[in-house]
Structure 1
Amino acid sequence: MPEREPPDTSRLVSTEWLAAHLGAPNLVIVDGSWHMPATGRKGREEFLKAHIPGAVFFDIDAVSDVASPLPHMLPSPTLFRAAMESLGIGRQMKIVVYDTEGLFSAPRVWWTLRAFGAVDVAILDGGFPKWLAEGRPTESGEAPYLPARFDATLDHDWVASIDDVAARVADRRAQILDARPAERFRGEAPEPRAGVRPGHIPGARNLPVSELVKDGRLADAATIRRAVEAAGIDPAKPVITSCGSGVTAAILWLALDTIGAPPVALYDGSWTEWGASDRPVATGPAD
């Protein structure tokens, strides 16, 4: 098993930087767009119509454990390696991820690549909306790619199971931070997936990602820190991020990482798993 190299500390690259490096060797641009099923939007269809020149499409639903009843759970290292190599994504390459919302699903792809050992992964600041607003070039159709090697080794410490979360909540070894909208966290709004109860994990805290992302861009560090502390989270103590199905939990990861307090894990099954299980559920504000 190859040793994991220290990850690159940069998290965002500008549209100016990316425009200046289009076509650079050892650079791969990844469209990681994913949309909630209720929107009716299809990331791949939109990618084929327009994307940043040279970009490849990372399908969050396809690059997953398709045997799991839960949506887009992490795949095996073997499957992940095959998927990345089929896209021309190498473990040692400079990888820049973006999405069509600005900052929504790209952090999930960023987190996934890093969890499987990618060395240098960044997110495009402002994403595709900023790129388009600046009149930068696009292309359509599938982009050609060169062969690449991705020796995938999943860092299991980054991923929390339902039993991990239950155990850490029970003995107060970690704080749970939920990215869902407040109405869903409190149980006042129905869940978008059938069979999932409303509410939240007992003891969890709520920080909707709408408080951290404005106009498709991540808030500054001071704003993030204030929001985290207002949610009742001590960034100096272990945090597990969660959401509806493991996508926006990665935005919380990115935000906490930005203030120098990276989470100990992301709950991959998130509320879709917990809310459909027989585990206890809390409603109302965080207790």
Structure 2
Amino acid sequence: MNKKTKLILATMTLAFSVFAFSGCSNSDKGNESATSDIKTIESKEVKENIEKSDWIIVDTRENDAFNGWKLDNVSRGGHIKGATDFSAAWLKVDNKDKDTTLDKVLETKGISKDKNIVLYDGNGKDAAEVANYLSNKGYSNLYIYDIKDWAQDSNNPMEAYENYEMLVPSSWVKDLIDGKHPETYDGKDYKVFEVSWGKEQDSPSYLKDGHIPGAIHINTDDIEKGPLWNRVSDEELEKFAVANGITKDTTTVLYGDDSMAAFRVVTILKYMGVEDVRILNGGTNKWVKAGYELEKTANKPVPVKSFGAKVPANKNYIVDLDMAKDIINDKKNSKLVDIRSWEEFIGETSGYDYIKTKGRPAGCVWGHAGTDAQSLQDYRNIDNTMRNKDEIINMWNEWGITPDQRLAFYCGTGWRAAEVLYYADVIGVKNIALYDGGWNEWSGNTGNEPNPIETGDPVKVK
């Protein structure tokens, strides 16, 4: 451990002691006892214990660092191989159910009181915050570690997601618009877009609440239309791109107040052939939490002459009804994955006031989602960043979904499924697509005869 790290840790230990003795309540006295269990640990000890069942290594940094970004001057991106995550940022989320949610997170990740828990960071703050949180909950055997020491030795295994650059931290976007050259950026023309439903004057997340400086508004009505709410024609998509100054070579950064709309649009941009697409991980809230300013003036796009490629250049990224049927019929090598709530999947509700039929395509499998047609909690951390790869794959494995299969994701009209498709892309799953028509099309809601439908719990049905 370097001298700077030791000094930081010594300062934190002193701060904990001062805090404990300065208060007068019973809860403060409990903190004094708990914080005395927080220790420091060296790389040698981490290596000796990392594979032991009674030890767990926890990354407490921002989710972006865990995914692969080099933040806080750490020499290598990603996380210690085998580590799980519990970000200090989650402790600052304003959520009435935060305590219950975080208790479930601890349980899911196996962060239990009977284990030795190594908490690491790169900024000298995050690990201490999580350690204090856990100690106040009665956890002992807590150790603080500096990831910089681990990263400096190339023999120490670290893991980053294959396409981590597709999800960017707010600091990356700030550097981009400030004219810097952030990690993985090739210096080409870039555009930043705020994505939500409605025209810019009707979008509270664009003009009323404010947007990232320089960002242009995209209305989702520009890329999809009813009654199917499928993407518009390839010709219309090309006109949309040209009007917004997007070519196949434009570095395109999208975000939103809730980023689901941005994932919907970015999936279509990838289908069209835009080669460098990015999503701000965690949306507008992450920009604000980082202390960056918003602006409330509208920015107008500057059109380009041409998109620069025949649309779609990445045709297989989105599939339609016939291909969805082929995927269902290829049971050995393929899965049509339902990204809707359990209640939608088993047919208790359609999830939409304009879709009457309930159920699911016969032969599909459940891929998890959230509690209703607008949520995706099973794939997001409490701060709306992407959940970690191992937990996503574990969810899939429950239903026989594996990354080596051909996977097509669908939901009601393509929004939730687009987000999961993008996450699958980030973690490096290869043969993936969005079934654009989703339940809206399959159920016959658009006037065609409905396709084969199932209801009920498939385990009980069998």
1:281 corresponds to which residue?
453
1:162 corresponds to which residue?
321
State the distance in 1 between where 2:402 and 2:412 align. Answer: 22
CA RMSD across the alignment: 2.3
More deviation in 21-30 or 42-51? 42-51
- Secondary structure of the residue aligned to 1:29 is strand
State the distance in 1 between where 2:202 and 2:248 align. Answer: 24
Distance 1:77 1:150, change over 3 A: same
Q: Which of residues 83, 90, 107 is equivalent to 2:240?
A: 83
State the distance in 2 between where 1:140 and 1:105 align. Answer: 20
* Alpha-carbon distance, 1:34 to partner: 4.2
Matched, 1:204 2:364: yes
More deviation in 105-114 or 187-196? 187-196
User: Are 1:100 and 1:127, in contact at CA under 8 Å, matched by a contact in 2?
Assistant: yes
Q: Deviations over 1:108-139 (max 9, x none)?
A: 22211111010111111111111122231111
Distance 1:286 1:110, change over 3 A: farther
State the distance in 2 between where 1:229 and 1:194 align. Answer: 32
2:438 corresponds to which residue?
270
- Secondary structure of the residue aligned to 1:18 is helix
- Secondary structure of the residue aligned to 1:58 is strand
2:171 corresponds to which residue?
16
Q: How does 1:76-115 map onto structure 2 within 5 Å?
A: 76-101=233-258, 103-115=259-271
State the distance in 1 between where 2:212 and 2:410 align. Answer: 30
2:217 corresponds to which residue?
57
* Alpha-carbon distance, 1:23 to partner: 5.2
User: Are 1:23 and 1:54, in contact at CA under 8 Å, matched by a contact in 2?
Assistant: no
Which entry has the higher C-alpha Rg, 1 or 2?
A: 2
State the distance in 2 between where 1:85 and 1:133 align. Answer: 33
- Secondary structure of the residue aligned to 2:402 is coil
Taking structure 1 as the reference length, what is the TM-score of the superposition? 0.85
Matched, 1:32 2:32: no
User: Are 2:272 and 2:315, in contact at CA under 8 Å, matched by a contact in 1?
Assistant: no
2:326 maps to amino acid:
A
Quick one: percent identity of the two aligned structures? 26
1:212 maps to amino acid:
Y
- Which of the pair is proportionally richer in helix? 2
Q: Which structure 2 residue ranges, 5 or more long, are not aligned?
A: 1-162, 180-187, 370-375
User: Are 2:362 and 2:453, in contact at CA under 8 Å, matched by a contact in 1?
Assistant: yes
* Alpha-carbon distance, 1:203 to partner: 1.7
More deviation in 215-224 or 25-34? 25-34
User: Are 2:270 and 2:277, in contact at CA under 8 Å, matched by a contact in 1?
Assistant: yes
- Secondary structure of the residue aligned to 2:434 is strand
- Secondary structure of the residue aligned to 1:100 is coil
State the distance in 2 between where 1:171 and 1:82 align. Answer: 36
Matched, 1:260 2:418: no
State the distance in 2 between where 1:43 and 1:63 align. Answer: 17
Q: How does 1:185-196 map onto structure 2 within 5 Å?
A: 185-196=345-356
Matched, 1:141 2:297: yes
State the distance in 2 between where 1:129 and 1:48 align. Answer: 16
More deviation in 118-127 or 73-82? 73-82
- Secondary structure of the residue aligned to 2:286 is helix
Give aligned pairs, total.
270
* Alpha-carbon distance, 1:48 to partner: 2.3
Q: Deviations over 1:24-71 (max 9, x none)?
A: 472210112349xxxxxx97343122111111122222223x4x5311
